[in-house]
Structure 1
Amino acid sequence: MFKLLPLLALVVYGFAMWRFSAWKLARELDSRSRPLRDARLAPVLGRLAKAVGVPRIPVHVYEIDPINGLAAPDGRVFLTRGFMNALDRGQVTPEELGAVVAHELGHVALGHSRRRMIDFTGQNALRMVLATVLGRFLPGIGVWIANLVASALAARLSRQDEYEADAWASALLVKAGIGTAPQKALFTRLDRLTGTPGASAPAWILSHPKSPDRIAAIEALEARWHREPRD
């Protein structure tokens, strides 16, 4: 029993850290966001809402410059001011931002925030256990290896979530009559828009799949839909 106490303490610590992070993020979003009201996006969001079967899809604008979308742990969906500025400059279309909203709705619908809480807790426990064990045999670099392994695991799980949210969004976009073309078109420019050097970074350390891989996954999904018999 007593041998399990350190592991239990790590799990409790990881859970507490996740709860604190979620609380801190909620406060940040409350203070730096506002409801989205944009006539350009209203028709697209209306089609998504109809496909989901709800009166409307509330979206908020997070007032930061980076281009990104966000699904908060409390289920709210955000587009950053950077994305809205890109829309103003003609760098993205309303349909492409609709694809971003659909993706974030996928994270919410698939319960990724809850799953990340469990993953975050487990990864912290794994990190500490590995650091303790490896530190005995590999002094000086054991902790570094433990951090590398835990980070690689976290990145792999995050990439899995992104693929799942992409697939959910693709299905919603097709149901809404928008199709996956805007989703794929945005991915072709996403690295350039965000300034992310994803093409040169090793895939196993990335928290998001590389854009070409995401496009390929969507096209594979579409091919599977075409092969499946329809009622």
Structure 2
Amino acid sequence: MAKKPLLVAMALSATLLAGCQHTGGINTDLAVSSGLSAYKAATLSDADAKAIADSGCQEMDSQNKIAPASSQYAKRLKTIAKSLGGDIDGTKINYKVYLTKDVNAWAMANGCVRVYSGLMDMMTNNEVEGVLGHELGHVSLGHSRKAMQTAYATVAARDAVSATSGVASVLTQSQLGDIAEGAINSAFSRSQESDADDFSYDLLKKRGITTQGLVGSFDKLAALSGAESKSLFDSHPPSTERAQHIRDRIATDKK
């Protein structure tokens, strides 16, 4: 593992249902101001992006305690995964639960989906379905890839990483860690969050899953307060507005 480049990038999230504002040791102003960073983001190939995401998922798994197949968390997620389906846009999805009190979930563009037991503790299966549908939306709509490109470009500009094919193999573990920090904590725009919400709603409908769980997940996120809410769910727009948007869609569908 010491010689293998590792990354916890391409997420998605992407943190669930919200864009976190923290980027650790990365100077995000550099990504905006540097022409070099923009160039490197544009030259990151699909193959490189997948290689980085593959290594990132492995690194995240190595740093977290994964729920064994015999645990109630894993059994619940297996049921949820069956409902949501095993692929997104032709990419196979790999679902796992991290045993931690943190409330979080994310998905990488290579189909790596992780949900934290802390989130499962506060939500029903249907609400978790809504949450993961949202994360898959960020992947399908290209938001996760763009977040990773920006994080990669920032580190590339800072450290003068050469824009060559197979860049994942030349990045150091420290660089990959910085890219991961920026990608997973990337703040999605208001429109990106709304589009991912609608993607989740449409996915649930397509799979024959009640969409009420999406409303419930937003209501519970809106009820969070303090440091936990501040660090994970600075959502744009607010969870209360997003819950109402889904209620409006449900009402329209009933007409």
Displacement, 1:212?
A: 0.8
* 1:81 equivalent in alignment to 2:117: yes
* 1:11 equivalent in alignment to 2:11: no
Displacement, 1:22?
A: 6.2
Aligned residue identity for 2:243: I
Matches within 5 A, 1:151-230: 155=187, 157-193=188-224, 195-197=228-230, 206-223=234-251, 225=253
Displacement, 1:182?
A: 1.0
Aligned to 2:162: none
Gaps (5+ residues) in structure 1? 1-5, 125-153
Does the 8 A contact of 2:41 with 2:152 survive in 1? yes
Distance between the aligned counterparts of 2:124 and 2:241, measured in 1?
22
Residue from 81, 97, 104 that aligns with 2:135: 104
TM-score calculated relative to the size of structure 2: 0.54
Report how many residues are paired: 180
Q: 1:49 to 1:121 in 2, by over 3 A?
A: closer
Higher relative contact order (CA 8 A, sep 6+): 2
Distance between the aligned counterparts of 1:10 and 1:40, measured in 2?
42
Aligned residue identity for 1:67: V
Aligned to 2:75: 39
178-187 or 157-166, which deviates more: 157-166
Distance between the aligned counterparts of 1:15 and 1:30, measured in 2?
29
Gaps (5+ residues) in structure 2? 1-32, 44-48, 156-185
Displacement, 1:216?
A: 2.0
* 1:95 equivalent in alignment to 2:126: yes
Does the 8 A contact of 1:35 with 1:58 survive in 2? no
Does the 8 A contact of 2:93 with 2:112 survive in 1? no
Distance between the aligned counterparts of 2:40 and 2:132, measured in 1?
33
Aligned to 1:58: 94
CA RMSD of aligned residues (A): 4.2
Indicate the structure (1 or 2) with the bigger Cα radius of gyration: 1
Q: 1:177 to 1:71 in 2, by over 3 A?
A: same
Give CA-to-partner distance per residue, 1:163-199, whole Å, 9 cap, x none. 111111111112222221111012111244574159x
Distance between the aligned counterparts of 2:68 and 2:141, measured in 1?
23
**Identity across aligned pairs (percent)?**
30
Distance between the aligned counterparts of 2:123 and 2:254, measured in 1?
28
Distance between the aligned counterparts of 1:51 and 1:223, measured in 2?
29
TM-score calculated relative to the size of structure 1: 0.59
Aligned residue identity for 1:98: E
56-65 or 109-118, which deviates more: 56-65
Displacement, 1:70?
A: 0.4
